[in-house]
Chain A
Amino acid sequence: MTDFPLEETRVEKPDKSFFVPKLCNACDHSPCVQVCPVGATFETPDGAVLVDPEYCIGCRYCIQACPYGTRFLNPITGVADKCTLCYHRIHNGQQPACVENCPTQARLFGDLKDHDGPLNQFLREHKIQVLKPHLNTYPKVFYSGIDKEVR
């Protein structure tokens, strides 16, 4: 690994670059929920996808199945883990930590089922894309004004 000639690797200069924060896309048809052999990964009634750490057997099938690469094996608990959308916070009426901390307020969080709510209003008024739409995962994370080259 250390002998790998990194200096000689040709790095092409990109014409254009993007900053795309990647997080669990909270898919409506989640591949990770589908493949979990014991049902330890589940979708809550309000749409978040969570892992039951008491039930996960650590087979890592979900890590392979997630198209967004957002699952990992937690080295401390030894089971699969993922972004919980700060489930403990949003159930106390708070915003997820990433939304609250973002200094430019680039992230919005809201209730997708609330048709006239601020989130749905934003989705209607902006050009919205999801990541990897061809996989039919129907993500509930939307990107505004993103280029179609972003995967």
Chain B
Amino acid sequence: MPDQSHLYEALKHVVGYIYPNDIEAHWSILIVLYPYLTGLVAGAFILASLERVFNVREVRPTYRLALLTALAFMLIAPLPLLSHLAKPLRFWEILVTPHLTSAMAMFGFVYMWYLMVVLLLEIWFDYRRDFVVWSRESKGFKKFLYSVLTLGVTDISEKAIRFDEAAVKTITIIGIPSAFLLHGYVGFIFGSIKANPWWSSVLMPVIFLFSAIVSGIALVMLIYLLSNKIPPRQAEHGVS
């Protein structure tokens, strides 16, 4: 049995009666961290789409950086959720036997859609030409790695490159509503809890989305500033 002495310490300060769940009044800091991370993902992706879809030329140097930031934070976003579970080894039950009325279970599908269909596909199409070039230039393990990443598609004729660019643009157009879905859905997970009057609001997805856009763009700005302090990599983000 885990140490419960801190609860007895807290009980001294309780006036009146308490509910059985009063020791679980807060959903813990990890649950706060997780919407923060998915917000950074959605915000960074929206910054990337500014360049691709809306042709905002000023943010062009941050395009790839924004995509990679989104991918990096997307991959670690479930970690706080996982470590918050009381039985982390049973997490796969959410994916294998999801309960369809549960907002949390359906988030698994939203997450997988965004990760597999939007982020990974867009990054692969964007980097495919580079993967082919790098796999020809490098040696040893790096060569093997880049060859695997091309997935066997080594055609870099002008026609193939044009197809890549068209694909990236299409995925970005699908990706903007998907990014809104991703983080709006996180807002819905909280907004659908009627028991908590501070959460149960239809505005929760909107609040989450706006904070996501602000924090995601701020994160890419910060990483861009810091990465430009490393001299040899200065020009890399401009290549696209």
Contact = CB atoms under 8 A, between A and B. Distances in A.
Interface of A: 1, 4, 6, 11, 22, 31, 34-39, 55-61, 63-73, 75-76, 78-79, 135
A71 B101 CA distance: 19
Nearest to A58: B86
B19 A70 contact: yes
Contact of B2 (A59, A65, A75): A75
Which applies to chain B's interface (DSSP): helix, strand, loop or mixed? loop
Nearest to A23: B20
Contacts of A1: 9-10, 13
A39 B87 CA distance: 15
B86 A135 contact: no
Nearest to A132: B195
A135 B84 contact: no
Nearest 3 interchain pairs by C-beta:
A58-B86, A69-B19, A37-B105
Given A57-B88, A69-B19, 18 more contacts: A1-B9, A31-B195, A35-B104, A37-B94, A37-B99, A38-B93, A38-B105, A39-B99, A39-B102, A64-B195, A64-B196, A66-B21, A66-B195, A67-B194, A69-B21, A72-B23, A72-B24, A79-B87
Given A38-B98, A76-B1, A57 B93 contact: yes
A107 to B, nearest CB: 18
B138 to A, nearest CB: 43
Contacts of A70: 19-21
Interface in B88-106: 88, 90-91, 93-94, 97-99, 101-105
Contacts of B85: 57-59
A57 B97 contact: no
A71 B104 contact: no
Contacts of A64: 27, 193, 195-196
B97 A39 contact: yes
Contacts of B27: 60, 64
Interface of B: 1-2, 4, 9-10, 13, 15, 19-24, 27-28, 81, 84-88, 90-91, 93-94, 97-99, 101-105, 192-196
Contacts, number: 106
24 contacts: A1-B9, A1-B13, A4-B13, A6-B13, A35-B102, A37-B98, A38-B90, A38-B93, A38-B97, A38-B99, A39-B99, A56-B86, A57-B85, A57-B91, A57-B93, A58-B85, A58-B90, A59-B86, A60-B27, A61-B102, A69-B22, A70-B19, A75-B2, A75-B4
B21 A56 contact: no
A138 to B, nearest CB: 13
A37 B24 CA distance: 19
A58 B85 CA distance: 5
A70 B20 CA distance: 6
A22 B86 contact: no
A65 B200 CA distance: 10
A71 B99 CA distance: 19
A73 B28 CA distance: 13
A69 B20 contact: yes
A58 B193 contact: no
Contacts of B13: 1, 4, 6
Contact of A135 (B94, B101, B195): B195
A78 B21 contact: no
A36 B98 CA distance: 9
A73 B103 CA distance: 20
